[in-house]
Amino acid sequence: MIRALYTAASGMKAQQTNLDITSNNLANVNTSGFKAFRAEFEDLHYQVLRQPGAQVASNIISPEGTLIGMGSTVVGTPRFFGQGDFQLTENPYDLAIQGDGFFRIQHPNGSQAYTRDGSFKLDANGNLVTSNGYLVDPNISVDPNASNITVGSDGTVSQTVNGTTTTVGQIQLTRFVNPVGLESIGKNLYRQTPASGQEVSGVAGTDPGFGTIAQGMLEMSNVRVADEMIRMIVSMRAYEANSKAIQTADEMLQVANNAKR
């Protein structure tokens, strides 16, 4: 009986986390480059009252065992790295990646960070930076007097100063074998981990799998509101069902207590 109480409580806790994930997805429904999370659950271990296939008589083995599960838990929150929709902004520093690549960013703490959010700006020195002022790696520096900035689908940045067009650099893309293993550090940034594998740098458009860069566009969040709503309903109902189990367990304990008058 006490078992059932904790089993149901584990279910409630798991569903609570499910709702936390859903709320975070919904809060980021308009965050450019955001990739939706999903809560993954698994069953906890089992108390084996009788092993399946155990000998029950001299030459009879039990065809099925008696296993009592101990509930569920959240095992992970993998992100879904599917492509988000594109939004046309016509801002020359807004870049979107169509494909699996990431932009590499120079984190102020000296390490590298990665992002799908290509809403770049220029800082006071003409460097291409993220909305938080972090430099793009390798650094792209644009002439303050440049009139026309073009970013090619391969990431080549060119500027026009006094009628002459020159190339100022190329935006590199990076990929990971297992992007799900990247660590999210907020500000739309990811950090490499042993699970994601080493970064692989490449040129957009030419190296396979990196994707191409589109200028004047932003990749929107890939959160699908309808899906999240359904997840919310499902986790809410599962939460309710588990709370009913706790109630019933409680009632049964009460019945047991009332057996002695």
Of 229, 254, 249, 260, which is closest to residue 26 (Cα–Cα)?
229
Part in contact with other proteins (CB under 8 A); list of ranges 51-59, 110-118, 123-131, 138-146: 51-59
Q: Which is nearer to other proteins, 36 or 189 (CB)?
A: 36
Residues in the chain: 261
Contact flag: residue 59 with other proteins (CB under 8 A):
no
Question: Which residue in 123, 138, 225, 237 binds other proteins (CB under 8 A)?
Answer: 237
DSSP state, residue 235: H
Which of 91, 197, 199, 232 contacts other proteins by CB under 8 A?
Answer: 197
Q: Which residue of 30, 52, 145, 183 would you call a contact of other proteins, by CB under 8 A?
A: 52
CA–chain centroid gap for 78, Å, is: 6
Site for other proteins in 64-93 (CB under 8 A): 64-72, 75-76, 78, 80-82
Q: Applying CB under 8 A, which of residues 122, 180, 203, 232 lies at the interface with other proteins?
A: 180
- C-alpha span between 215 and 155 (Å, rounded): 9
Query: Which range touches other proteins (CB under 8 A), out of 57-65, 89-97, 118-126, 147-155?
Result: 57-65
Q: How far apart are the first and last CA of the chain?
A: 21
Lookup: tokens for 95: 């870049």
Nearest distance from residue 200's CB to other proteins, in Å? 7
Closer residue to other proteins, CB minimum distance, 160 or 212: 212
Beta bridge partners of 156: 170
Report which secondary-structure segment, H or E, holds 43.
Answer: strand 40-43
